[in-house]
Amino acid sequence: MLNMKKIFLAFLTVLFCAPAWAQNKPLTWEEKNADQPYIVLLSEYQTILHPDWSYEETYHARVKIQKEAGKELGQWPVYYNKSREEVSDIQAHVETPDGHQYPATNIQDLQVYNDAPMYSDMRMKVVTMPQVNIGSVIEVKVKSKIVHKEIVHQFWDDITYPFIPTKHASHVYIFPEDKPIPFQAYKSDYKPTLEKTQGQIKYTFVFNETGPIGDDEELMPPLQEALGGLYLSSIKDWKMIADWYRDLIHKNTVSDVDIALKALELTKDKTTQKDKARAILEFLQDNFRYVALNFGNNTVEPHPTNEVFKNRYGDCKDLSLLAKQMLKVADIDANICLFSGEFNGNPQSGLPNPSVFDHIILQINLDGQNYFVDPQIKGFDFGQFPSSYDNAYVMSIDETGYKFDNLPVAFEEDHSLTSRADITVNGDGSAVFGVHVKLPLEASQNFKQSWSSSTNKDKDKFFENLEQNFAQGGKMLDRKVQGIENRYGPVEFDLKYESPTAYPIVNDMILIKEENQSNIPDFSQEHRRYPIFVPGNSVVKNINIYHIPDGFKVNFMPSNYALTIDLMDVSANYLKKDNTVGVDSTYRTKRSIVAVNRYQQVRDFRKELFKKNDQYVVLKKTSSLPPEAKDWIKNQ
């Protein structure tokens, strides 16, 4: 179950501007966070666990609106699972800057998924409040009763450091003395206050005047590694979680003749296990609607496979379990894997807790080789994933046990962008470009999905935008897109366009400057609090061939360079040949962690690279004489 606290935090989380820096005198907490869309003045949570393992949750929040973007909080959702939760009380009002209070005007009880009856237990109460303007303070109090956690007779939680700038936050847990819930800190010296009174144990966690976390630092590591973590759990080990979920797998894998016949039909003409597995996975991707309900959002038990097959929709756990069953019919073994992305933190760093997982995928064995497979992501073949899956943590559950593992970090080939341009430069600074671009795998799949759902008008608009961005006042002469129709593989563009103002002319010189090497962070802050973390590998490779116009020669050409540091390799090679200048540049990022004490080295690397990039190929006019005069002089 995603408890009230996590819902509240997730609802409030937005992109923040960088905090203000101290000027001549120390800034107050309010002044430091004046640029935030909203700030939390008070955030209080209390959980009371009863002897039967039911519990009550209360949260109380006061949030001040500071920017236009913060006004969206006037529609405040409270999510719950009606099968085992009851929202017993909601109180909400708005305080305006002049001191007036306006109570909530409406509280609606709605289904979260109107078109998915299998998820009818998922509900939300939407609290509508008036007078939510800049300077207003929203105050909300919510009380809930929960019959039990997903695993009965157990309790767990993790105490989250406030992501939103918060003046005062407290988390209180009250347990019966005969049900002590162990506490563990990871990479943190924090200890809650502990009280024992009248047969109860009370933990209290307090945070004061917090700010946005690392929003002013590029390439942040996972917050668990930067800030540590605080955990509560009565679950004695991970085996208990594996055994619990294995029972759910068995319970909801329902033998069904239609499922078996479809699996046999899909694989009857396939000779290899990979082809059989592709046929089943592609069938699910093409014929089943995905419901975006994360594993942790109040429901973790998959629906019976025969219901999912009949209804033709499901979330990650439903589709993975159905895929496992169909693969088994085709004599392909598959294990359910509880999944947590790397930036969620390593589950094993805390206490056993099923809520650390937010997704479910499969591990399948094909011809003796194991692959991790997400049945719902289209266009990624075996061994391929979106970049957010790099080094993700999985708990693979087989028939007798479990195993923790990590998804592999992708090879740079899957995250490579390559381009080759043939550029005819004219004497007036205009140019004609012939460009071939191959997109990375993930970008290609995103483009294919967007393209398939676009109208003809949207597609025309896309090419209009291409013309505006590339031709810059000129026009597109030709365009071709390849690979859109292919299920797997990259999308490639061939573009030909002319630009009337491609390169500046200064006196009798044409100045040609290469684009900056990809999107390298500025690292502008003088100091850094957290290590630099690059999670994956990628490469951007460009080859540009410039044709020198008649009457011009190369007056200056930058020197070749090759710079390297832990997180990246960057190089550029310039070559003059006949009437052309070729530039071959590469920008490669490498999975790495750079310690804080080496931050200055990274900044020095960035400054050196900026200097190398900030140079021009200079073409200078050879003579103002017409070509026939130059030929006459040459022959004398």
CATH number at residue 65: 2.60.40.3140
Per-residue pLDDT tens digits for 436-469: 999 999 999 999 999 988 899 998 888 888 888 8
For the chain, what is the domain count? 3
pTM of the full structure: 0.88
Task: Extract the tokens encoding 2.
Answer: 């995603």
Region 98-121: mean pLDDT is: 90
Instruction: Please list, residue by residue across 584-614, b when 16 or more beta carbons sit within 10 angstroms of its beta carbon and e when fewer do.
Output: bbbbbbbbbebeeeebeebbebbeebeebbe
**DSSP assignment string, 300-335:** -SPPPHHHHHHHTEE-HHHHHHHHHHHHHHTT--EE
Contact 201, 175 (CB under 8 A): yes
Measured torsion, CA atoms of residues 218, 224, 225, 226, in degrees rounded to the nearest 10: 50
158 vs 184: CA distance, rounded Å: 10
466 and 581 together in one domain = yes
524 and 377 together in one domain = no
Q: Look at residues 234, 261, 289 and tell me which one is the last residue of a structural domain.
A: 234
201 and 336 together in one domain = no
In a domain, 468, yes or no: yes
In a domain, 631, yes or no: no
Q: What domain range is 338 assigned to?
A: 239-408
178 and 295 together in one domain = no
CATH number at residue 254: 3.10.620.30
Provide the pLDDT confidence category of residue 74 given band limits of 50, 70 and 90: very high
Which residues are CB-neighbours of 210 under 8 A, at least 6 positions away?
Answer: 161, 162, 165, 166, 169
Provide the pLDDT confidence category of residue 626 given band limits of 50, 70 and 90: low
Per-residue pLDDT tens digits for 239-286: 999 999 999 999 999 999 999 999 999 999 999 999 999 999 999 999
Q: Is the pLDDT of residue 491 over 90?
A: yes
479 and 610 together in one domain = yes
Per-residue pLDDT tens digits for 179-227: 889 999 999 999 999 999 889 999 999 999 998 776 668 899 999 998 8
In a domain, 369, yes or no: yes
446 and 337 together in one domain = no
Among 617, 570, 565, 628, CA closest to 592: 565
In a domain, 632, yes or no: no
229 and 244 together in one domain = no
Task: Extract the tokens encoding 410.
Answer: 């992708």
Per-residue pLDDT tens digits for 406-443: 999 998 999 999 999 999 999 999 999 999 999 999 99
Q: Look at residues 183, 206, 234 and tell me which one is the last residue of a structural domain.
A: 234
Among 274, 271, 277, CA closest to 367: 274
In a domain, 102, yes or no: yes
105 and 12 together in one domain = yes
469 vs 511: CA distance, rounded Å: 20
How high is the pLDDT of residue 532?
Answer: 95
| Residue 365: other Cβ atoms inside 10 A | 15
In a domain, 636, yes or no: no
Provide the pLDDT confidence category of residue 299 given band limits of 50, 70 and 90: low
CA pseudo-torsion sign 300, 304, 309, 310 = negative
536 vs 412: CA distance, rounded Å: 8
Say whether 290 sits in a helix, a strand or coil.
Answer: strand
393 and 508 together in one domain = no
In a domain, 628, yes or no: no
Q: Is the pLDDT of residue 9 over 60?
A: no
Q: Is the pLDDT of residue 144 over 60?
A: yes
405 vs 339: CA distance, rounded Å: 10
| Residue 272: other Cβ atoms inside 10 A | 10
Worst-scoring range by mean pLDDT, 1-5, 45-49, 116-120? 1-5
256 and 378 together in one domain = yes
CATH number at residue 433: 2.60.120.1130
82 and 178 together in one domain = yes
Contact 177, 199 (CB under 8 A): yes
Strand order in the sheet with 229-233: 156-159, 229-233, 183-186
Contact 70, 39 (CB under 8 A): no
In a domain, 626, yes or no: no
244 and 362 together in one domain = yes
What sections of 431-574 are H helices per DSSP?
Answer: 441-452, 456-466
Q: Look at residues 391, 408, 425 and tell me which one is the last residue of a structural domain.
A: 408
